[in-house]
Chain A
Amino acid sequence: MKQQIIMKLLTGVAGLGIALGAVNVHASPEKDRQDFIKYYTEKYPHVKLDDYVYGALAFDPDAKAQYDAIMEFPPFDSVVEQGRKMFETPLKSGKKLSDCLPNGGKMIAGNYPMFDEARGKVVTLNDVINDCRVANGEAAWKVDDVKTMGVLNAYLRTLSDGMLTNVKVEGPKALAAYEDGKKSFFTRKGQLNFACANCHVQNAGVKLRSELISPAVGHTVHWPVFRGGDNLVQLQQRYVGCYRSVRAVSPPAGSTMMNNLEYFHSYLSNGLPMKASVFRK
């Protein structure tokens, strides 16, 4: 995805089909990832790829220093602790989540979203948590419920700190889900007519009013975030927020569309380390 193709992808749905077709001939998810990285690193040669996990902070040393200071004593520690208690509380069956999740829940977050061949769809870590709950006699949580799923994740995902993102796209069905997510990323929506790529590719590192815009590579590794120190936000809730900001009707968190978007989006961060949870202003 050279600069030219990224621009083509932004020219609207009509152009998109053609451009995607052109990409598909030679492209693979891995080629897409490399092209994204090339696009950003050529534009910003002084910003290290490893620092993309800090989002917009990678482009603003002062804001990064403030972030570092806050992260020394995270204001949201008590929520993480609450999540640990949740994680350790036995489910109705008497088993715990750690008995049910792969590898006891440790060093797994970077494998998700994952394409489940048997079910023919993308499965997020939140889906896996719900599967465990249901298999052990509990009701599923709403994937975007802050007080349950959000708080649990604030702890659970710390067990994967440092794991390198390792999302796999294998086989035609997985590739179709990936392509669907990619299409969402490049499709303009809403009264204000923006695609994710308009902001997070075309204008990454650029200010929208006083807000510096983050690159899409590195976006998915550090969730949930605590905005303003205490407002817990999961990844797909952020998607919803960005859709709303362009006055689009957002697809709901947990929908196939959102899961496919997360699948594509997460693949872009392959090789980058996970970290939960982090502060955002």
Chain B
Amino acid sequence: MRKYVAAACAISALMLSASVLAQQAPAAGAAAPKKEETGKDIAFNRSKGNCLACHAMPTVPDAESPGLYGPPLIAMSARYPNKAALRAKIWDPMVTNPATSMIPYGKHGVLTEAEIDKVTDFVYGL
């Protein structure tokens, strides 16, 4: 039974819950100094980008147990020579695909503009 309970916990982490969102908003000015998050950190963080919930990253060794909603993120600079188009896709994927099941990270304020810049750089390098 323990195994199943552990699995259940993993799910609630995955489910991007409302409480996770609440924790996310940093108190203005009160932020303790901490190591700056990289684009990869943001992409991997389950309460931020959580890109692995839907995308494999075949060239990233620690990109473990990815979901399959979206296509693998690979050879991105070849597929998106124009980096601005890549950023725009992450900012609001519905523009190019109205039926998409990807999150509008910029349009809905899931990530900040600065976070999206970092994630774009990271993904562009894949």
A→B interface (CB under 8 Å): 7-8, 10-12, 15, 75, 191-194, 198-199, 202-203, 206-211, 227-229, 231, 241, 244-247, 281
Contact = CB atoms under 8 A, between A and B. Distances in A.
Interface of B: 1, 4-5, 7-8, 10-11, 14-18, 21, 50, 52-54, 65-69, 94, 98-99, 101, 103-104, 108-110
Contacts of B68: 206-207
17 contacts: A7-B99, A11-B94, A193-B104, A198-B101, A203-B101, A208-B14, A208-B53, A209-B53, A209-B67, A210-B10, A210-B14, A210-B67, A211-B11, A211-B14, A228-B8, A231-B8, A281-B8
Contacts of B18: 244, 247
A118 to B, nearest CB: 38
Nearest to A205: B68
A193 B108 contact: yes
A193 B103 CA distance: 6
B8 A208 contact: no
Given A12-B94, A210-B14, A227 B67 contact: no
Given A193-B108, A245-B15, A281-B4, A209 B65 contact: yes
Contacts of A12: 94, 98
Given A7-B99, A227-B8, A208 B108 contact: no
Nearest to B8: A228
Given A228-B4, A247-B18, A191 B109 contact: yes
* Most-contacted residue by chain A among B50, B66, B69 (CB, 10 A): B69
* Most-contacted residue by chain A among B7, B8, B67, B94 (CB, 10 A): B67
Contacts of B15: 241, 244-245
Contacts of B4: 228-229, 281
A210 to B, nearest CB: 5
Tell me the dominant secondary structure on chain A's binding face: loop
A247 B18 CA distance: 5
A192 B108 CA distance: 7
Given A11-B94, A209-B53, 20 more contacts: A10-B98, A11-B99, A12-B98, A75-B1, A191-B21, A191-B110, A192-B103, A192-B108, A192-B110, A199-B101, A202-B99, A206-B69, A207-B67, A208-B54, A209-B54, A210-B10, A211-B67, A244-B15, A245-B17, A247-B21
Contact of B69 (A11, A191, A203, A227): A203
B99 A208 contact: no
Contacts of A244: 15, 17-18
Contacts of A245: 15-17
A259 B110 CA distance: 30
Given A203-B101, A228-B5, A247-B16, A209 B110 contact: no
Nearest to A191: B108
A231 B5 CA distance: 10
Contacts of A229: 1, 4-5
* Most-contacted residue by chain B among A11, A193, A281 (CB, 10 A): A193
A139 B50 CA distance: 45
Contact of A208 (B17, B69, B104, B110): B69
